[in-house]
A and B are shown apart, each in its own frame.
Chain A
Amino acid sequence: MSRYDLNVTLYRLKKDAAFRARFQADPAAVLADLDLTAEEREAFVRWDARRLNELGGSLHLLVSIPRLGAH
């Protein structure tokens, strides 16, 4: 059920500025305790928005995360 966790993580990146700052500083550390697949984790760390979208990440979240939004 990691698609849920993937989207909840995207949602937190959009809404939670402190979480977003920690993610930008050290993404692997922030994601360590989350229930993500290795593929999802890697896409987050590389910030590969297209891959995250292919893995089930919401387009609307991916385009609207401050400073990370993909257009």
Chain B
Amino acid sequence: MGRIVYAAAMSHVLYPDYYEKNVGPHGRRMVEELIEVVRAMGRTLLAARPDALVVVADDHLNVFSFDAVPALCVRIGRSVPRMVQADAIEFDQALDGLPDRYPLHEDLANRLLEEGIESGFDLAASWSAPLDHAFLSPVATLCGDRPVPPLVPFWVNCFLAPQPTARRCFAAGQLIARVVAEGPWQVALVATGGLSHFPELSLARLGTSDPAFDRRLLRALEAGDPGPLQALTAKELHETGSHELLNWMVLIGAVAPARARVRFFGEMGRIDLAAVEWAVA
């Protein structure tokens, strides 16, 4: 019988140069501290010897363009390339030194799609979407130079309204947990993004975050109390710059009622950075 052997969530722009440029030396120092924490978390993740690593993250209008915007999407196929973009800005430039392709866990991805359809989740499937920093910055930091477990990339539309609700994302996590429990695999689960930044997706508010919201969030996670989080509205997520919390909600649904351990929280001004593990083992 399968089980979730590791679960964690973390901010996904793990690039000191980006924060040095846009925030200054204290931004660099803070993200460097976070990177050290994420590296340590990666050692725990890999020690659990997962058969697959499900990564829940969002698209930054890098992959899906405007032809179709899936609310929830599973990447299928045998392998996935990293995104390559000429003249990319800092946090996608930083993908340049990483491997060109990553293996996928095709069986788990297909099972998620099939079981999703059976149980009312019409998940989108992509055979071609590449991975940007939202996936590869955490994966590369967690795994370092060790082999990356076969991935199951899972996208949540965090930014183009109307997004899936927090409650729906939580339920998608419950679906993942059910599929894992019914399958033969040991699975690690990582959600990325956040915490609060880009409130209202407004350029005029760039450089601000909502630390009070994030402190309440982390207290709820530590208490193992996802109820109020499921009730968060799109308006609340938008105004507080918590769009990417939807990725976390998928993971929270998969591990509830496990309690979280906050490994890192830092208020940078432009963004609140965090790394959190759940007691699932």
Ordered nearest first, which 4 A-B pairs have the shortest CB separation?
Answer: A66-B87, A53-B203, A59-B201, A60-B60
Interface size of A as a range: 20 to 34
Chain B residues within CB distance 8 Å of chain A: 21-22, 60-61, 65-66, 85-89, 92, 159-160, 198, 201-204, 206
CA distance A40 to B211 in the complex (A): 34
Determine whether the beta carbon of A8 is less than 8 Å from that of B66: yes
With both beta carbons as reference points, the residue of chain B lying nearest to A49 in the complex is identified as B203
Determine whether the beta carbon of B86 is less than 8 Å from that of A17: yes
- Residue numbers in A under 8 Å from B60 (CB-CB): 60, 64
With both beta carbons as reference points, the residue of chain B lying nearest to A17 in the complex is identified as B86
Identify which of residues 24-65 in chain A touch chain B, using a CB-to-CB cut-off of 8 Å: 49-50, 53-54, 58-64
| CB proximity of B209 to chain A, nearest CB, Å | 14
| CB proximity of B116 to chain A, nearest CB, Å | 27
Q: Is the interface of B mostly helix, strand, loop or mixed?
A: loop
- Residue numbers in B under 8 Å from A15 (CB-CB): 65, 85
Determine whether the beta carbon of B66 is less than 8 Å from that of A64: no
| CB proximity of B159 to chain A, nearest CB, Å | 6
Q: A11-B61, A61-B61 are in contact. Are A53 and B86 (CB under 8 A)?
A: no
Most B-side CB within 10 Å, residue of A8, A14, A60, A63: A60
Determine whether the beta carbon of B88 is less than 8 Å from that of A66: yes
- Residue numbers in A under 8 Å from B21 (CB-CB): 71
| CB proximity of A14 to chain B, nearest CB, Å | 8
- Residue numbers in B under 8 Å from A62 (CB-CB): 203
Determine whether the beta carbon of B61 is less than 8 Å from that of A71: no
10 A–B contacts from the bound complex (CB under 8 Å)? A4-B66, A50-B203, A53-B201, A58-B159, A59-B202, A59-B203, A60-B159, A63-B203, A64-B92, A71-B22
- Residue numbers in B under 8 Å from A11 (CB-CB): 61, 65-66
| CB proximity of A44 to chain B, nearest CB, Å | 15
- Residue numbers in B under 8 Å from A53 (CB-CB): 201-204
CA distance A59 to B160 in the complex (A): 11
- Residue numbers in B under 8 Å from A63 (CB-CB): 89, 203, 206
**Which among A17, A54, A66 is the interface contact of B89 at CB below 8 angstroms?**
A66
- Residue numbers in A under 8 Å from B204 (CB-CB): 50, 53-54
Determine whether the beta carbon of A58 is less than 8 Å from that of B61: yes
- Residue numbers in B under 8 Å from A67 (CB-CB): 87
Determine whether the beta carbon of B85 is less than 8 Å from that of A71: no
With both beta carbons as reference points, the residue of chain B lying nearest to A67 in the complex is identified as B87
CA distance A20 to B203 in the complex (A): 21
Determine whether the beta carbon of B159 is less than 8 Å from that of A71: no
Determine whether the beta carbon of A7 is less than 8 Å from that of B66: yes
- Residue numbers in A under 8 Å from B202 (CB-CB): 53, 59
| CB proximity of A37 to chain B, nearest CB, Å | 18
